C-alpha cells in the first residue's frame, strides 16, 4: 500500500508532490487566518455604522467588502488547484499499488477476491486517502494557526458561566468539548469498523458466486445465491441499526456545539466589555480550533471504511508473500 513512497519511479510525485500539497494547504490556512481577522475588523465597522449615523461612508464600507472579495477569490483559486493536484497525486498512489499487484499477479490471481482487491479496493483506498488525508492535513495546520489566535483573544474572556474565572478559558472549552465528543463517539461507534469489514466480505462472496455463475450455472444456483444474499441483507440491516444511534449521537453533539462559544462568552458579552467584531472573531477562531480537534468525530464513517479497506489489502499482500514463499520452496 505504501510502496508509492519507497519506489524511485514515484519519487517526484510522492515526495515533491507531498511538499506541494503541504505548501498549498498552508497557504489556504494562512488566507483563512486573514479572513478571520477581516471578520473582526468588519463587524466593528458594522457596529460603528449602526450605532452612529454617518460614521462610516459608503466608499469605506464597500472597501471592506472588496477586501473580503480579494481574500475569498485567492482562497478559491488555491483551494481548486490543491484539490485538482491532490486528485492526480492520489491516482498516482493508486497506480503504484496497481503496478505492484500486476507484477505479482502470477502469485495473486488464485487468492479469493484478487480482482476486487486490485481494481475496487485500490480505487477506494485512493479516494478515501484523497479526502481523509487532505482533511487531516488541513485540520492540523488550522489548529497550529488558530490555536495561538484563540489563546491571545481569550485573554479578554476571564470568566465562564458556572466556573468563574479561568485563564484563556475559550482554549480550554474548545479542547475539553472536542475531546469529550471524540471519546463519546469513538465509544458509540466502536463496532462499526468490524461490521464494515464483515459487510465487504459478504458482498465479495456474493459477487464471486455471481461471476462464477456466468460460466457455470450450477455454481450460482438459486439456493446458493439466495442464501448469500440473505447474509448480505442481514449485515446491511445490522449496519443501518448501528449507524442509527451513532448518527443520533454525532449530530446531537455537533448541533449542540454551535451554541457553546456564545454560552462561554455570555458573562463577557453582557458586561459590554467587548465589541461585536471581537465576538465574531473569537467565535470564528473557536470554531476553527474546535473543528480541527473534531477531525475524528466528523470523519469517523470514512475512517471506518478506510480501516476495512486497509485490512483487506493488508491481508491480500500477506497472502501474496505466502504464495511467493511457497513457490520458492
Query: Which one is predicted more confidently, 61 or 322?
Result: 61
What the chain holds in terms of domains, given with CATH numbers, is: 3-328 (1.20.1560.10)
Above 80 in pLDDT, residue 227? yes
Query: Which one is predicted more confidently, 265 or 10?
Result: 265
3-state SS assignment for residue 274: coil
3-state SS assignment for residue 179: helix
Above 60 in pLDDT, residue 291? yes
pLDDT, one tens digit per residue, over 152-198 is 888 888 777 887 777 778 888 888 888 888 888 888 888 888 888 88
CA atoms within 13 A on the CB side of 120: 14
Give the whole-number percent of the chain exceeding pLDDT 70: 92
pLDDT, one tens digit per residue, over 306-323 is 887 888 788 877 887 777
How many CB atoms within 10 Å of residue 324?
13
Instruction: Give the separation between CA 260 and CA 267, rounded to whole angstroms.
Output: 13
How many CB atoms within 10 Å of residue 72?
13
Pick from 46, 86, 84: which is nearest to 64 by CA?
46
Provide the 8-state DSSP code for 82.
Answer: H
- 140-144, 216-220, 290-294 — which one is most confidently predicted on average? 140-144
Residue with cell 468525530: 297
In this prediction, residues 271-294 reach a mean pLDDT of: 82
Above 70 in pLDDT, residue 219? no
Count of residues in the chain? 329
Above 70 in pLDDT, residue 325? no
**pLDDT for position 16:** 85
Query: Which one is predicted more confidently, 205 or 112?
Result: 205
The answer to whether 90 and 130 have CB atoms below 8 angstroms apart is: yes
**pLDDT for position 77:** 93
The answer to whether 36 and 264 have CB atoms below 8 angstroms apart is: no
Give the whole-number percent of the chain exceeding pLDDT 90: 10
Above 60 in pLDDT, residue 304? yes
**pLDDT for position 73:** 93
Above 70 in pLDDT, residue 217? no
Above 80 in pLDDT, residue 108? no
DSSP 146-171: HHHHHHHHGGG--EETTTEE-TTHHH
**pLDDT for position 214:** 66
Residue 301 CB partners (closer than 8 Å, separation 6+):
192, 243
Residue with cell 444474499: 229
Residue 301 grid coordinates: 464513517
Instruction: Give the separation between CA 139 and CA 183, rounded to whole angstroms.
Output: 18
Residue 319 grid coordinates: 497472502
Main-chain dihedrals φ then ψ at residue 164, nearest 5 degrees: 80, -145
* pTM, to two decimals: 0.72
Above 80 in pLDDT, residue 255? yes
**Exposure letters 77-112 (e unless 16+ CB within 10 A, then b):** ebbeebeeebeebbebbbbbbeebbeebeebbeeee
Amino acid at each position: 500500500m505504501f510502496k508509492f513512497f519507497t519506489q524511485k519511479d514515484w519519487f517526484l510525485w510522492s515526495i515533491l508532490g507531498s511538499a506541494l500539497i503541504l505548501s498549498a494547504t498552508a497557504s489556504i490556512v494562512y488566507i483563512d487566518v486573514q479572513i478571520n481577522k477581516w471578520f473582526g475588523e468588519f463587524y466593528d465597522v458594522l457596529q460603528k455604522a449602526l450605532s452612529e449615523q454617518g460614521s462610516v461612508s459608503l466608499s469605506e464600507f464597500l472597501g471592506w467588502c472588496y477586501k473580503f472579495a480579494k481574500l475569498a477569490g485567492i482562497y478559491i483559486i488555491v483551494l481548486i488547484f490543491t484539490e485538482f493536484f491532490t486528485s492526480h497525486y492520489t491516482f498516482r498512489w493508486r497506480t503504484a499499488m496497481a503496478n505492484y499487484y500486476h507484477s505479482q499477479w502470477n502469485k495473486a490471481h488464485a487468492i479469493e477476491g484478487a480482482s476486487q482487491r486490485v481494481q475496487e479496493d485500490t480505487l477506494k483506498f485512493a479516494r478515501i486517502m484523497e479526502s481523509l488525508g487532505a482533511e487531516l492535513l488541513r485540520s492540523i495546520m488550522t489548529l497550529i494557526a488558530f490555536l495561538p489566535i484563540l489563546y491571545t483573544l481569550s485573554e479578554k474572556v476571564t470568566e465562564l458561566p458556572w466556573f468563574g474565572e479561568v485563564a484563556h478559558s475559550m482554549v480550554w472549552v474548545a479542547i475539553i468539548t472536542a475531546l469529550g465528543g471524540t471519546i463519546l463517539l469513538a465509544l458509540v461507534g466502536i463496532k462499526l469498523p468490524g461490521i464494515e469489514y464483515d459487510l465487504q466480505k459478504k458482498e465479495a462472496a456474493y459477487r464471486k458466486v455471481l461471476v462464477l455463475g456466468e460460466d457455470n450455472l450450477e455454481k450460482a444456483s438459486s439456493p446458493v445465491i439466495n442464501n448469500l444474499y440473505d447474509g448480505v441483507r442481514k449485515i446491511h440491516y445490522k449496519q443501518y441499526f448501528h449507524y442509527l444511534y451513532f448518527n443520533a449521537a454525532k449530530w446531537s453533539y455537533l448541533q449542540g456545539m454551535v451554541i457553546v462559544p456564545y454560552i462561554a462568552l455570555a458573562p463577557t458579552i453582557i458586561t459590554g466589555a467587548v465589541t461585536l467584531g471581537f465576538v465574531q472573531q473569537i467565535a470564528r477562531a473557536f470554531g476553527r480550533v474546535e473543528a480541527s480537534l473534531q477531525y475524528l468525530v466528523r470523519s469517523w464513517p470514512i475512517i471506518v471504511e478506510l480501516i476495512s479497506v486497509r485490512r483487506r489489502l493488508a491481508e491480500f499482500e500477506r497472502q501474496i508473500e505466502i504464495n511467493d514463499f511457497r513457490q520458492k520452496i
